[in-house]
Amino acid sequence: MDYAAMSSLMHTLEQLLQSKSPLIYRSCIQQQLVESAFQSLSALQVFLEDTSKEIKDIETLKIIEKRIRDIVYKAEERVDSTLRIIILEDQKKREQACKSFNEELQKVEKEVDSLRKELMEIEFIEHGSKSAEASTSTSSKRYATEQHTVVGMKDDFNTILDRLTAQTDELTVIPVVGMGGIGKTTLARKVYDDSTIRYRFDKHAWVTISEVYNERQMLLELVSSISQDRTDESNQKMSNDQLAEIVYRGVIGRRFLIVIDDLWSTEAWDQIQRIFPNDNNRSRILLTTRLSYVADYASSDFPHHNMSFLSFDESWILFTEILLREDICPPHLDEIGKHIIQQCRGLPLSIVVVAGLLGKIDPTRDNWKKVQENLNSFFGTVSEQCQSILSLSYSYLPQHLKACFLYVGCFPEDMEIGVSKLIKLWIAELFVRPRSNKRLDMVAEEYLEELIDRSLILAGRRRANGRMKTCKIHDLLRQLCIREAQTENFVHVLSDIDHISSESIKHQRRAMLSLGNHWNHFYVPRHWRFITRTTDNLVSTGYSFQVYLMPQFASQFKLLKVLEELETLAIKAERNIDRIILPRNISLPNLKQLRLRQTYFPWEDMVALANLPNLEVLKTCYAFWGTDWRLNEDVVFHKLKYLLIESAYNLERWEAASDNFPMLEQLLLFGLQNLEQIPFSIGEIMTLRFIKIQWCSAAAVTSAMKIQEEQKSCGNDGLEVRIIFNSGRTGMKY
C-alpha cells in the first residue's frame, strides 16, 4: 500500500523532527536531511492523491502504485534497520550507522523526487478529477442500499413462508442452499423479520456458524436471544453444558424459530440439533448453507430449497433499486448499464458491488463505459467473475481507504468485528489522517461509513446514540482482501499453523494470526525464528488463544515484546487457559491505564505492575488469586491514582502501607467476600479522596468505616466512603 507505506515512513521522520528527539539533539542525525526527505514524501503523497483521481485505466494505476510501493517499502526498511542499530548498538556501531542513516535519507529524497517527476510525465485522462470530486458529494444521495432488499426472491420468500407455517406438528428443518453471495442470508433475514413469522413463534433466535464452528460462541448467541434477562458476564461464567441447558429450558414447550446461518459441516449440525426438543408444536429451524450434502443430512425427510440466480429483469430491478432508488435510469446510460448487469450473471452480490462502484463515480457515459470494458476483460467463470468485480471496486477506492479495507479482511471469516477495536488498529497503523480538526477516531468512523456506502463492508449493530458498534465483511470480499494484501506485500494472513513456513512470510511487512474460533492454544514452531528477521509486526485477530513463545522469537517482534508508545491496555484471558505468566521485566514505559480480567495472577505478580512508571489507572476483575496480598516497602505504585480490585473472592489478608500508593485518589473494592480488613494505613494516603465498598465482607465494611472515622478525628473531612450492599441500586453514603 503506497499510502500506508508513506504514512509509516513519514511518521518515523516526523518523530525524529520532534524537538525532544535525542538522536537529533546529539547531532547524530542531520536535521536538515530529515526535513528534506519528509518534505519530498509529503509532496509525493499530495501528488498521488490528486492524480490517482484522474487515472481511469486500472492497469496504469496498478503499475504506478507498485512502483511507489517498491521504492517506499525499501526506503522504510533501510531507515528502520539503521535506526535500530543507532538506538540499540554500542557507540562504534552507532557512529557508523549515523553516517549510513544520513546517506539513506539523501537516497530517499533523490528516489522520491525522481519518481514524482516520472509520474508527472504520464498523460492522465482529461477531466477525470471532475468526476471524482462529484462522487464525493453526490454518491450518498444517489446510492443507499436497503439492508435487506429482496428482488427476484418473491417465489423463494413465499416457499419458505409456506414451509414455516405448514400444519406439520413435528419440528421441521428447512435448509436453504446456494453459492456465496446469492442471497441466502438476505432471504432468511427477510423471512425472519416478517411480522407474520414474528407473531407465529414464541421464541426467535439467529446464529451465524461459518466454516470454523465455535460451539461456545453459538451457545452464547442463543442464550442472548432466548433468555434476554441474563447478562453477558453471567453467561461467560457458564460451561457449554450449562448454556445448552439454558437454551433447552428456554424453548421447551414453546413454539420456536431458530435460524442457523452459514452451516458448513454435519458435525456442527450434530451438536446444534441436540439442543432443541421436538414437542410437536410446529417449531422450525431454518438453516442456510453452501453445501447440499449438509442440507440433506440436516433434513433427510424434506427436500432443501435451492437458491437460483436472478433473471436479467430481476437483476436490472435490483440494480436500479440500489443505485437509483425511485429514479429511472437515464436514457444515455440505459444501454451500457444493461450490458454491465448482463455480465453480473444474476449474482446478487456482484450486482450490489457494481452498483456501489457506479454510485461513487460521476454518472457519465464515458465513466460507465470504462467500468463495462474492465468487467469484460476480467470475466471468466462465475467465481472469477465475482472476484473480478470485487477487484475492480477495490481499485477505484481512494488511496486513504485501501489500507483500511485490506486490514478488515484479516479478521476471521464471519466475525462480527468490534468497530472500536478496528478503529484503534487503523489509527495505530497510521492509516487515518487528520481531517478538519476532528479527532482521529471520528475520522476513522467516517472512513468506515464510506466503505459501507461502497458495499465493501457490512454494517452491524449500532449503539443507542446511532454510532456503529460492529461491522462485518462478506467472505468473498474477505478473500479479495487477503489476495490483494499478499500481492501488495501489505500483510500476510496466517490461518494454518501447521503449514506456515519461514519462506511463506520471509519478506512480509506484517503477519497476522487469524485462526478463527477453534484454536485454544498453539506453540510457535521452531523454524519461525527465521521469520522474525524480516517481519517486524505480528498482530492477532482471532477470538482467543494462548501463545507460547520462545524467548528469541518474542524479542524479535517489537510489537509483541515492547510497545513503547502504548498508553492503554486491556487483557482478558479465556477461562480455559490454565496459567498465564506475567513477566517481571515488562517494558511499557508510557502505559497509563491497565485493565486485567480473568488472568488469575498470583498476588506476587503485582510487583511487576508496580514497575510500570506511569501507570495511573489499574482495574482488575478475577485478575488475581490467593489468600494473601503483602506489599513490601520497596513496592511502590508511584503514579497510581485509581485502583479497582473486583472478584478476588479468596483474598483474606491484605498488608500494605501508605507509601505503597503515594498518589492514590480512589480505591474501589468489589466482591471481596473473605477480606478480613482493609489496611488502616491506606487512610494515611494524603491524596485519597474516595473509597467504595460493594459486595464485600462485613469486616471489610467495618474497616472502611473505621478508616473514615480515624481520618475525621485527625481533621481530614475530605475522605468519602460509600458502602453498597446489593446490586448497586441502593447504598449508604458516609
> Angle at Cα 209 formed by Cα 207 and Cα 210, nearest 5°?
140
pTM: 0.47
Q: Report the CATH number of the 310-396 domain.
A: 1.10.8
Rg (CA), the chain: 30
Asked whether residue 657 carries a pLDDT value surpassing 80, the answer given is yes
Contact (Cβ atoms closer than 8 angstroms) between residue 455 and residue 355: yes
* DSSP 8-class letter at 497: G
The highest-confidence range among 228-232, 356-360, 623-627, by mean pLDDT, is 623-627
H or E segment and range at residue 34? helix 31-52
| 348 within 8 A of 314, measured Cβ to Cβ | no
Rounded to whole angstroms, how far apart are CA atoms 546 and 558? 19
Name the nearest CA neighbour of 171 among 232, 289, 231, 251: 251
Least confident of 25-34, 48-57, 311-320, 389-398: 48-57
The whole-number average pLDDT for the span 244-258 is 91
More confident residue, 594 or 531: 594
Q: By the 8 A CB rule, do 621 and 598 touch?
A: yes
- C-alpha span between 125 and 351 (Å, rounded): 27
SS3 620: strand
Say what the pLDDT of residue 663 is: 96
Residue 23: band (very low, low, confident or very high) from pLDDT cuts 50, 70, 90:
low
Q: Are 672 and 648 in contact (CB under 8 A)?
A: yes
* Angle (CA) 148 153 154, round 5°: 110
The 8-class DSSP code of residue 673 comes to: T
| Residue 724 scores a pLDDT above 80 | yes
How is residue 462 annotated by DSSP? B
Residue 655, pLDDT above cutoff 60? yes
Helix (H, G, I), strand (E, B) or coil at 232: helix
Of the candidates 338, 325, 319, the residue with the CA atom closest to the CA atom of residue 138: 325
Q: Tens digits of per-residue pLDDT, 480-511?
A: 788 888 777 776 666 554 444 545 555 555 55
173 beta partners: 285
C-alpha cell at 149: 432488499
What confidence score (pLDDT) does residue 558 get? 37
The per-residue pLDDT for range 362-397, each reduced to its tens digit, is 888 888 888 777 664 443 333 455 565 557 668 777
Can you tell me which residue has the cell 461459518?
210
Is it the case that residue 3 has pLDDT exceeding 50? yes
Q: What is the DSSP letter of 383?
A: H
For residues 265-291, give the mean pLDDT.
90
The CATH number that domain 1-124 falls under is: 1.20.5.4130
Residue 80 or 681, more confident: 681
What is the pLDDT, as a whole number, of residue 57?
A: 60
User: What are the residues whose beta carbons fall under 8 Å from the beta carbon of 301, sequence distance 6 or more?
Assistant: none
6 CB-near residues (< 8 Å, 6+ apart): 41, 44, 45, 68, 72
455's torsion region: left (phi>0), alpha (psi -120 to 50) or beta? left
Q: Nearest to residue 84, comparing CAs of 94, 96, 69?
A: 94
pLDDT digits (tens, 9 = 90+) for 98-132: 788 788 888 888 887 777 777 666 544 333 333 33
- The answer to whether 134 and 365 have CB atoms below 8 angstroms apart is no
What region does 412 belong to: left with phi over 0, alpha with psi -120 to 50, or beta?
A: beta
Side chain identity, residue 269: W
CATH architecture of 398-490: Orthogonal Bundle (1.10)
Res. 88: pLDDT tops 70: no
Grid coordinates given for 100: 549510513
- The pLDDT of residue 717 is 85
Question: 24 pLDDT band (50/70/90 cuts)?
Answer: low
| H and E: helices and strands count for the chain | 27, 25
Q: Where are the domains of the chain?
A: 1-124, 153-306, 310-396, 398-490, 511-724
Query: Cα–Cα distances in Å, from 304 out to 166, 287, 360?
Result: 15, 10, 39
Rounded-to-integer distance, Cα 694 and Cα 259, Å:
41
Lowest mean pLDDT among 496-500, 676-680, 695-699, 702-706: 496-500
Angle made by CA atoms 435, 436, 441, in degrees to the nearest 5: 50
CA 249/CA 306 separation, integer angstroms: 33
Contact 694/721 with Cβ under 8 angstroms?
A: no
Residue 543 CA from chain centroid, whole number: 10
pLDDT for 148: 44
pLDDT score, position 128:
38
Q: Tell me the percentage of the chain whose pLDDT exceeds 90.
A: 25
Task: Judge whether residue 147 has pLDDT over 80.
Answer: no
Specify the CATH class of 153-306 in words: alpha beta
Write b or e for each residue in 694-719: b if 16 or more Cβ atoms lie within 10 A of its Cβ, otherwise e: bbbbeebbebbbebbeebeeeeeeeb
Please indicate whether residue 78 or residue 313 has the higher confidence score (pLDDT): 313
Q: What pLDDT digit, counting tens, does each position of 419-475 carry?
A: 988 998 888 778 888 887 888 899 999 999 888 876 678 888 888 888 889 998 876
Assign 619 a pLDDT band (cuts: 50, 70, 90).
Answer: very high
In which band, very low, low, confident or very high, does the pLDDT at 63 lie, cut at 50, 70 and 90? Answer: confident
pLDDT for 132 equals: 34
User: 152 versus 601: which is more confidently predicted?
Assistant: 601
Percent of the chain with pLDDT over 70: 72
- Other C-beta atoms closer than 10 Å to the C-beta of 155 total 9
Which CATH number fits the domain 511-724, given the four candidates 3.10.450, 3.60.15, 3.80.10, 1.20.120? 3.80.10
Reported as a pLDDT band with limits 50, 70 and 90, residue 325 is low
pLDDT for the residue 475? 67
What mean pLDDT is reported for the chain?
76
Q: What band does 55 get if pLDDT is binned at 50, 70 and 90?
A: low
* Res. 32 pLDDT band, cuts 50 70 90: confident
The residue ranges of DSSP E strands in 264-329, in sequence order, are 284-289, 305-306
- Report which of residues 162 and 40 the model is more confident about: 162
Please give the pLDDT value at position 28. 66
Provide the pairing of β-strand 470-472 with 305-306. unpaired
Please report, for residues 26, 641, 666, 716, 734, the alpha-carbon distance to residue 720 in angstroms, rounded to integers and kept in the order given: 50, 15, 10, 10, 7
CB 225 within 8 A of CB 254: no
Between 664 and 75, the more confident residue is 664
Residue-wise pLDDT for 512-559, tens only, equals 555 444 433 333 443 333 333 344 444 444 433 333 333 333 333 333
Q: How many CB atoms lie within 10 A of CB 633?
A: 9
